[in-house]
Amino acid sequence: MATSHQASSIEAGRLSAAEIAENFGDLHPQYEPHEAAVAADRCYFCYDAPCMTACPTAIDIPQFIREIQAGHPESAAKTILEQNILGGMCARVCPTETLCEEACVREAAEGKPVEIGRLQRYATDKLMEKGVHPFSRAEPTGKTVAVVGAGPAGLSAAHRLAMLGHDVTVYDRKAKAGGLNEFGIAAYKSTNDFAAQEVAWLLQIGGITVEYGKSLGAELTLDALKADFDAVFLSIGLGGVNALRATGEDKGGVRDAVEFIAELRQADDLTSLPVGRNVVVIGGGMTAVDAAVQSKLLGAENVTIAYRRGRDAMGASRYEQDLAATKGVKLMFNVQPKAIHGNGSCVEIELEYTSATDGTLQGTGETVRLAADQIYKAIGQTLQDQPDGLALEGRKIKVDDAGRTSVAGVWAGGDCASGGEDLTVTAVAEGRDAAMDIHASLIG
């Protein structure tokens, strides 16, 4: 039961509906046509374009920018979508500042890259606004594939397999498809229900059936899927959240950051979402930044990100760190949670300063206390449901370069699989590449 302190300090409606609407407006609005033309003109159209090498999905970036420059955004979109079927969402959430734009020759020469991400969004939005799906299915192969998990990797694999003529059934534990695109991305990055719109658009390819409320280990078993389908692709994500291992972690007001972000993304009215006065987020990745910034945008007075290592070790890019700072979030480095204090619900968090010796992190014994009526854990996720019989690598499903697992006929990709970074764009590439390997396997 919440204490009187919590009841008075965690509340909804800290800001007006107008303030909330302004705070959660589109972070990077779509270009107007003349803006896109000006941005496209800055591209050098490099022969050996380093931006392409830096893109996990290997989009032909000079080609699609040239098509925008020529006034054909829909053609540019097809160039993008041939490699990355979720190019619209990736244009919104990709850390382009550490991928294609960091590699841009303009960035090296002038410190200002071509805005590849916004150009990609301009092209894909223009195509989707027309309701056009630029791809069609091949002749049916008679082969069936099960895809478990309707996140970026699963959707990417399902689309490519359906396009190649296979019949695909996608299963997901939730009532909506999209995975982290729907439930785990900051609301100001994906506005106007874009994730759901993109899924609906993707399914226009045909040949894909989606069944909700079914998860591996509960309603589904790997043995049954292998018996019922010609191939299985697992994209089950990472449902478990790591523990803080701090005294008092079970107190009221302490929760998972991914759970908070999902609740916010699905809320019909953000003014009804309660937020504390003093919020502390533990972690250093994108989830930590998204949780912290959105707490501030909901009206929290003091928001702090506490990270156990130095700034350079943060998983969140410097751009995301600076974004948090501009929104009023305080960043603390080299601190780790030691204890959470309060009678029933959290009131303060005690942090211990850390130092690294030969790469090993140790507490110094020196501590500091911060007021905290809400504490969010954003310290990484783990594989929640380990499929029987599959070899693991660390805490993920072991796969080879083609996404094949240790079990014949079963592939995996996305956050649940070993290798690669936990990014939407990487998951899309892994789903696409696994689909191509599945196709090659099925047709001999």
Q: Give DSSP secondary structure letters for 13-40.
A: -SS-HHHHHHHTS-SSPPPPHHHHHHHH
Burial class (CB in 10 A: 0-12, 13-18, 19+), 353: middle
Which residues are CB-neighbours of 356 under 8 A, at least 6 positions away?
309, 310, 362
pLDDT at residue number 419: 85
pLDDT in tens, 335-388: 999 999 999 999 999 999 999 888 899 999 999 999 999 999 999 888 876 777
**338 — phi, psi (to 5°)?**
-115, -45
- The tens digit of pLDDT for each residue in 198-237 reads 999 999 999 999 999 999 988 999 999 999 999 999 999 9
> Which of the four pLDDT bands, split at 50, 70 and 90, describes residue 298?
very high
Clarify whether residues 300 and 211 are in a common domain: no
Residue 430: is its pLDDT beyond 90? yes
What pLDDT, in 10s, does the model give residues 168-209? 999 999 999 999 999 999 999 999 999 999 999 999 999 999
Going by their DSSP bridges, the two strands 348-357 and 360-371 should be labelled as antiparallel
* pLDDT at position 53 over 90: yes
373 and 268 within one domain = yes
- Which residue range is the domain that position 186 belongs to? 144-239+383-442
- H/E element holding 288? helix 286-298
Helix axes 424-442, 152-163, angle to 10 degrees: 40
Mean of pLDDT values over 124-139: 95
pLDDT of residue 125: 97
- pLDDT above 90 for 7: no
Amino acid at 410: V
DSSP calls for 74-140: HHHHHHHHHH-TTHHHHHHHS-GGGTHHHH-HHHHHHS----HHHHHHHHHHHHHHTT-----PPSP
pTM score, two decimals?
A: 0.94
Q: What CATH number is given to the structural domain containing 396? A: 3.50.50.60
**Is 232 found in the same domain as 121?**
no
Across the chain, what does the average pLDDT equal? 94
Average confidence (pLDDT) over 123-131: 96
Same domain, 246 and 372: yes
Task: Single out the residue in 70, 102, 129 at which a domain terminates.
Answer: 129
Residue 5 has pLDDT above 50, yes or no: no
Structure tokens at 285: 């990745």
User: Which one, of 428, 412, 319, 393, lies nearest residue 85 by Cα?
Assistant: 428
- Token match 């991400």: residue? 117
Statement: residue 163 has pLDDT above 50:
yes
Distance CA 159, CA 243 (A): 36
**Cα angle, residue 441 at apex, residues 57 and 386 outer, rounded to 5°:** 70
Q: Are residues 229 and 245 in the same domain?
A: no
